[in-house]
Each structure stands twice: as structure tokens, then as C-alpha cells.
Chains A and B, each alone.
Chain A
Amino acid sequence: MTFETSMLSVILKQLEIAAFQWNKDDDFTPINELPDWFSGLYNKRMARSGVPTNFHLANAFPFIENFLYDAEKLWSQSTDGQLHSGLWTEITANDVEFYIEAVAINALQTPVLLFTNETTNFDVRHKVFQTARNLALQNEQLENVVQLHQRKLQQQLESFCQPQVSLTELSDNIQEESSAVLICRQDGAVELYNRALVDIYSLNDEGELERQSLLEKWVKEAERIYPEIHRVLAVGKHWEGEFETSDNGETKKWIRLMIAPIVNEDQNEKIIHYICIANDISESRISLEEVERLTQIDPTTRLPNRRNFWSYLSTQIDQKKLQGGNLALFYVDLDHFKQINDGLGPEQADFVLNTVASRLKRCLKTQDYVAHLGADEFAVVATDYGKSNALPDMAQRIIEGIYRDVSFNELTINVSASVGIAVYPRDGANARQIVKSADFAMYHAKEMGRNQFQLFGPGDIRDTVSKLHIEQGLKNAIEKREFELLYQPQICIGQKSIHRAEALIRWNHPEHGLIAPASFISIAEDSGLIIDIGRWVIETACEELQRLASKNINVKISVNVSPKQFKYSNLADDIIKNLKAYKVEPSQLELEVTESAFMDNMDSVVEQLETIRKLGVSISLDDFGTGYSSLSYLKNLPVDQLKIDRSFIIELPDNRNSKTIVESLIKLAHELSIEVIAEGIENQRQLEYLKALNCDYFQGYFFHAPLSASELLTAYESVSIKKS
């Protein structure tokens, strides 16, 4: 067996499919290793055991014997195609019901017969039909009541409508009748009607009824399902039926109508009136969609819908309240689904949703509950997960289960999801609070970069609410001069005399006070505001350099740039413009880029950086070691400085791992003639350790907190680093 064929065999078995090649007559050879359910059934049917080489499927299953007539017809054709048998039921030895469907396929001109086990999907399908039929039964009963009433009414009216009786007398009697009544002449001219008729047809003024012949309209509408209506009426017989009609506002309704001709026996059975009785039965007509809504199944994914989710979650929580125990809710939201929907159209989007639904089901235990809440939102409820440290594993399984390509005819897209987890009773006392908590946690997961999960933490709500504030405020912050740059000096111990500082942005929010960049930069990046903010930073730093220069202070300032600035703005132009405007030496400016800047479009970023470097501006690589980059790839990047992330420094010199990383980073950087800056220095021990490794620059509270422009000036003036 080749790898492909054994792979195929395993896949088929996992999907619980039994696949056969048809040889002739009732002779089949299995294509894959048969799933147990099938072998069990077959052996029971044939009263045998073991695995035969050839199978007699028609003999074992009379349903298949019948299906083979159609299948053989398909197999005798040369084109590829498939044919479904429809569902049938088999009972196992221990009285378990199996629901099976057979599919005949022409695959590469080979006749193939598949058996799929539909037992797991059966319940959902059955529930839909059961509900539909139960409802239909109820509606039939209701319609029976209407029918009975109409017939009684008709008899009463008929006895009234004798040639000698005046119709006006009748009119008073029928006004309050709940069924609509119309009495007209044979040509349709209205003689009498009641209020219920006006209601059904939403008639504005009663003259309308006189202008149009309702009888004619009815006959036309009924004709679509009852072509015989003309004939029945023409011969003076009474007619009844149900059909769709449209009222004055073109709203569709179902009515049950009875038309009874009144003949004048004296005048040779001539029809003198029609008595028409109608009832609006729209409410008892049900559509499949309606049924599915009622059965709380989402029609796209066949998962329980939002309504079912709420009732399930509430009942489960009520139960836990009584019996104790925990419950976990996973709120799953697909990433960038809007793009899929907009880009590919609703059909493909449904396909994606379906795929995700089945992936979700597959990666969970059968007792876990999955619902499709609508659009790109899914929910998983686990009531039986053991210890709470099982939750991250489960979330990871969900994320990995979903995170795969989905292929269409000619294109492949990548689907991922963000997951928020909340636990009852820890994160909320009722269903609503649990959902809210899980939703906030999910939002947090999106914030953290998507395709990941977050457990709910009490900060999440606060964070999310303020995030919305932040986004609003950011829009005007530049104009309102709410940003400020602080400068944290980078110290060099030794002979080198270059003085450096990193420019750090702060936001003086009118309500929230000073906001650190961690809280708003990602929001600014998402909304695109980062471009303007980035420009402001460069300009402000250049302005400051000019001011310092005027005081004869010669420093180098490094500014942080966002990956988006490479992508969506012309960074080099912005820099050239500002260097010129503020008469700043290029060597006094440094750009700090993070590894993530290279992730997106490495070639373009490298190219832009090389242009900028040629100007004389230096480049430093920020947060090195935290991301994806390997040391070996460092040599390909146009950088002059490397910043070791504070997370490694904090653990120095006690943590062996951090030590190894820092040591090798510094060694490698120096081999590549790259200088190293350690940030986050907080104590003497860290400093001593790094000094021993020949680290070039040090930054941190041990030396200076970030300083305002004026504090920076004072600091430099006190050590008097004047321009030479």
C-alpha cells in the first residue's frame, strides 16, 4: 500500500465511511479498512464473523439490493457523478438503531459504493422533521375547526339567501361574524360583505370592494393550485380550498375560502348569488425556516442557534446553582470573517461556517455543547471538564482545530478564531454575566493579536470600555496637543562619548490622565491613526534635537516606529523632510523597529531601512528575542543596534535561561558589529553582569526614569555634555 492509499483508508475510517469497489452483480471489494459499525452490521446480517475479502451487500441489505438498480445505471455511464440512496435504518444485535445512507460514485470511471453513518446527525434532522410534523398536525386540527365553522355558516346563509329575502336584513347579522363574508352576483358585483373581509384585505375605503371584483381575483389566485375551480363553479357546485392571496398592500396571506352558489330553482337552476366565506389561516401555515427557528437549529451549520444557546446555558447554570460545580463558556469568534464574507460572497462564507462548525464538533467531546450564535460567532459550553487547568488545553484544541486552510475550487483561505473563556460561578452569577465576561475575554484575545484564547480577568471589562473611549479620544489627541514625548537616557559606561535617549510617547488624556503607550498604540495601529502619531513623534523629536542643539547639547534620540508606518506611509520622505526642517544631523536620529515590522513584507521593509540608513540615520532593533526571529536571521537585517528586551534583563543574573540568551545575543551581535543596548536595568547586579559581557549601552530606572524635555535639558546641562 502506498502512503496515499493507507492515508485515504484511515481518513475514510475516521469519517466512519465504508467504501467499496463494485466488481459485478453483488460482488464488492472494500477500499478501506472498514469502520466497526459497518463490519458489525454486515456480520449480523450475514450471520457470520471475521472479515471477508468479498462482500455481498445486496444480499445483506435489501435496501441496497433496491438501490443497486439505480447505482448500476450510474456506473454504466462513463461520466463522473454520484447518487444518494436516501436514509435507511438498520438495527444492531443489541437493538441500537443505525441511520445509514449509501452513495454511488463514478470515481475515475471506477464504480464505488460508500456507506456513511448518519447516526450522529440524525437527532438534529429528526428533531426538525418531528417538530414540523407535530406543528402541521396541530394546524390541521385548527383548520378543521375553521372548516367546520365555515360549513355551518354557509348552511345558515344559504337558508337566508332565498330570492324573496332582502339582503339588508342579513347584513346586520353578519357584521360581527369572525369569518369574512362576501355575497355577490354571478358576475362578481358585490352585494354584501362584513368587517372581517375588510380586515383581511386591509381595505382603506369600502368603495374599493365595489371597483374590483374579489371573486375574480380569488379564482385567479386559487387556480394555481386548484385548476378545476372554474369548472366546479361553472356547474354550480360548491368549492372550498386554501391558497395564497395578496391583500391591498400586497402582503401575502393564506386564506381558506368556501364559495357556495345559490341557485334559483324557479329559474332553471340559474345562479343568482355566490356566498363566499373566507378565513385568514396564515398563522397556521409554516415554512421550513420557521420550523428551524422554532426548533432552535441554525439552518446553515445545523448547530443549535442563539436562542437554544441561551436556554441551554441558563438551564445548565440553574443546575449548577443547585448541585454545585463549575461550567465553562468558550466564546469563539472567527478572525476577519467580514473580509471572507465581503470578498467571497455569502455562499462561500456559509461554506466556511459549515467547515468551522464541523471542525469545532470534531475537536470537542460529544458531551460538550456547541452553538452557532450567528454570523461568525460560536459558543462552546463545557460542564464536565474536570479541573480548571484543563480549560487552556481545551481552548488550544479549539483554536488548532479551526486554524487550517479552507479550500474552494480554486482558492484557499486561512481561517482562525479568537476565543474568550469565562467560568461559572467565578466570572459571573448568571447566564448574561457569563456571556458578557466570555465576550470581553474574546475581545481581549483579538486585541492580543487574534488566533489565541484569553481567560476572563476582571480587568477585561474596564479595558474594553476604556478602549472605546480611547479610540474616540485618539482621533483629536494630536490637534489638542495631548501627546508628549518623554526621553529616557541610554548610558554608556566606558570611553565612548555618544549620548543617547529613547523618545517615549505619553498621552495626557483629559479624563483618564497619563496613558502609557501599551494602552493605546495597538488601538492606534488598528484604526490607522498610528501613521499620524508616528509622524508627530518624528517631528517632535527633531524639534527637540534642534532645541538641544541650540543649547549646544549633542545627543542622539531614538524614536519608535510602527510596522504600519512602513506599510502605509513613506517613512523615508517624512524623515528627510523633518531633518531638513529642523536642521538636524541624520546621525542624531535613530529609528527603533520591532521584529514584527519584518514579518509582513520583509523585502520592502529592508529596502526602506537601507534607504534611511544611507541618509545617516541609524536603526535599532527593539524587543529582540521576544518574537519569532532567530539569531541567524539577524545578519540579514540592516541594523546598527540591538535592544535586549527587558523581560530577559529582569531575570538577570539568576535565571539560567535568560543568562544563556543574553550572553549569546551579545556575542553574536558583536560578531556582526552590532551594538547592544540593555533596557530595563533596575539594579547594580544587573548592571555588573551586563558590563562584564561588554554590553554597550544601558537604559532603565537604575539611571533615569523617562524625563520630560525640560528635565532632560537640566540633566544634560548638569553633566555638561556640550557640543565640542
Chain B
Amino acid sequence: MTWSPFQVSGNAEHESRSFIPNKRLLPMMNKKICMVGAFAVGKTSLVKRYVESLFSEKYHTTIGVKIDKKNLTYQNKDVQLMIWDIEGVDIFTDLKPSYLRGASGILLVIDGTRSKSLETAKQVKQLVDDNLGKIPTLLLINKSDLRESWQFSEDDTKSLAISENNTFITSAKTDQNVERAFERITHLMVED
């Protein structure tokens, strides 16, 4: 990558660009979050749960990117989250680094029932680190409702170097920890 993480990560760069007039006018804070990870881990489902309070069992894989917005108030500040739901990584699809540009936070999702998704997460984390440097990142171990068939212990995720505070066991299906994970990333991004 040719762009430097310091130039483009976070919000400062965005607001300094003259061609986004409304962002300077609005008192709202704008934060980009990227949902990344292997295919079928539940990235789209987590966003849908969080933004629309819906869940579907049917797997409809994402191609490309879909951006959702969510407005919230964090410590009396208005924040608009721009949630980038990015297509999952598989043998045909790599994570495109250009999609990460300008992100203030990363939600790295793995599927507790699939050890392969942890392998993929390691590569994705590396790519994120290379491109964005140190940036608020949460690990979401999803599908907690299927915990009886989980493939690995929380120990196995240590190699990702994401602290326990920033690791959430979630379920888009039962809504476990979804709200809390987004609150946590908002907190980290705003304080960052």
C-alpha cells in the first residue's frame, strides 16, 4: 500500500478534505467501522441485528460492500457510525485494503464453530495492522448460540493479540453482546 496509515486513518483526514462540506457543518461525529473476516461468519447478520434488529437463518453471501448508517449519542455527543459490511474472505476473495481506508474501528469476526475462520482472521488482522497501524479493533466470536459445537477455546484466539476487554462472544441470532460490542468500539473510537 502506498498510503500512510497516519495520513488517512481516523477522522481528521476526512474532515480536512475540502470536498466534504457537510461534514464540517454538521456537529455530528462520523466514524467508519469495517466488518471483516472469513465468509459466513455472520458479519452481515451482526450489522442487521444491530441496525435493524433482525436476523435470518438464510445465508445470503455479500459481494462487494454495503454501507449502513447508525446514529447514536455517546456521552452527549452525536455520533454517526458508517458500518462497512465487507465481503468475507475465501479462496476466491481477498480483503481489498482500499476498503479499509479511513476506518476508525475494526470488528474482526470469527465463527466459533469453524476453526478455519480463526486462521483467516489471523491473515486479515495482519492486513489490517499493515494498512491502518494501531487502530481500535474488537474480536467477535460469533454464533455463541451454537456453543456446544465450538471448535476452539478462547485460548486459541490469543495469537490475534486482541485483549480480553476487546473480545466479545456474540450471537446475531440471540442478540447476545451485539449492542455491547458496538458500544465498546464506539467508546474506543471516540476516546482514540
Contact = CB atoms under 8 A, between A and B. Distances in A.
Interface of A: 25-27, 56, 58-59, 62-63, 65-70, 86-89, 99, 101, 122, 125-126, 129-130, 132-134, 136-137, 140, 144, 147, 288
A62 B67 contact: yes
A144 B115 contact: yes
B153 to A, nearest CB: 15
Q: Which secondary structure dominates where chain A touches chain B?
A: helix
A25 B92 contact: no
Contact of A140 (B19, B88, B92, B116): B116
A66 B98 contact: yes
Contacts of B63: 87, 99, 122, 125-126, 129
A129 B3 CA distance: 30
B98 A27 contact: no
Nearest to A58: B19
A63 B65 contact: yes
19 contacts: A26-B19, A58-B19, A59-B19, A59-B22, A62-B82, A66-B99, A67-B98, A68-B19, A86-B96, A87-B64, A88-B64, A89-B64, A99-B63, A101-B64, A125-B63, A126-B61, A129-B61, A133-B40, A140-B114
B61 A88 contact: no
A63 B67 contact: yes
A101 B17 CA distance: 23
Contacts of B101: 66, 69
Interface residues of B, number: 34
Given A59-B22, A66-B99, A69-B98, 6 more contacts: A59-B21, A67-B98, A68-B19, A88-B65, A137-B40, A137-B114
B168 interface: no
A133 B39 contact: yes
Nearest to B115: A144
Interface in B90-104: 90-93, 96, 98-99, 101-102
A65 B88 CA distance: 22
A59 B20 contact: yes
B16 to A, nearest CB: 12
Interface in B54-73: 59-61, 63-67
Contacts of A26: 19-21
A589 to B, nearest CB: 72
Contacts of A136: 39, 90-91
A66 B115 CA distance: 33
B160 interface: no
Nearest to B3: A69
B159 interface: no
Instruction: Tell me which of A56, A68, A99, A133 has the highest count of chain B C-beta atoms within 10 A of its own C-beta.
Output: A133
B59 A134 contact: yes
Nearest to A126: B63
B19 to A, nearest CB: 3
A101 to B, nearest CB: 8
Nearest to B8: A69
A58 B21 CA distance: 10
A706 B66 CA distance: 79
B61 A130 contact: yes
B174 interface: no
A86 B64 contact: yes
The 3 A-B pairs with the shortest beta carbon distances in the complex, nearest first, are A87-B64, A26-B19, A25-B19
B53 interface: no
B20 A65 contact: yes
Nearest to A101: B64
A59 B116 CA distance: 38
A101 B101 CA distance: 18
A62 B101 CA distance: 12
B18 A133 contact: no
Contacts, number: 81
Interface of B: 3, 8, 17-22, 32, 39-40, 59-61, 63-67, 82, 88, 90-93, 96, 98-99, 101-102, 114-116, 151
Contacts of B61: 126, 129-130, 133
Contacts of A132: 90, 92
A129 B61 CA distance: 7
Contacts of B82: 62
A702 B52 CA distance: 89
Nearest to A122: B63
A578 B63 CA distance: 75
Instruction: Tell me which of B3, B59, B61, B63 has the highest count of chain A C-beta atoms within 10 A of its own C-beta.
Output: B63
A352 B48 CA distance: 43
A126 B151 CA distance: 29
A591 B90 CA distance: 72
A101 B96 CA distance: 15
Instruction: Tell me which of B8, B92, B102 has the highest count of chain A C-beta atoms within 10 A of its own C-beta.
Output: B92
A344 to B, nearest CB: 30
A518 B64 CA distance: 60
A151 to B, nearest CB: 12
B81 to A, nearest CB: 12
A12 B64 CA distance: 24
Given A59-B21, A66-B99, A130 B65 contact: no
Contact of B20 (A58, A122, A133): A58
Instruction: Tell me which of A59, A122, A137 has the highest count of chain B C-beta atoms within 10 A of its own C-beta.
Output: A137
A424 to B, nearest CB: 35
B34 to A, nearest CB: 11
Contacts of B151: 144
B127 to A, nearest CB: 16
A26 B63 CA distance: 27
Instruction: Tell me which of A25, A147, A288 has the highest count of chain B C-beta atoms within 10 A of its own C-beta.
Output: A25
Given A88-B66, A288-B92, A25 B18 contact: yes
Contacts of B98: 66-67, 69-70
Contacts of A65: 20
Contacts of B59: 130, 133-134, 137
Contacts of A86: 64-65, 96, 99
A7 to B, nearest CB: 32
A62 B40 CA distance: 25
Contacts of B18: 25
Given A69-B8, A136-B90, A27 B60 contact: no
A25 B66 CA distance: 24
A137 to B, nearest CB: 6
B170 to A, nearest CB: 19
A89 B20 contact: no
A27 B22 CA distance: 14
Contacts of A99: 63-64
Contacts of A129: 61, 63, 92-93
Contacts of A59: 19-22
Contacts of A122: 63
A170 B3 CA distance: 60
A99 B66 CA distance: 10
B61 to A, nearest CB: 5
A89 B66 CA distance: 5
Nearest to A86: B64
A27 B19 contact: yes
Contacts of A133: 39-40, 59, 61, 88, 90
Nearest to A83: B98
B146 to A, nearest CB: 12
Contacts of A63: 65, 67
B45 to A, nearest CB: 14
A66 to B, nearest CB: 6
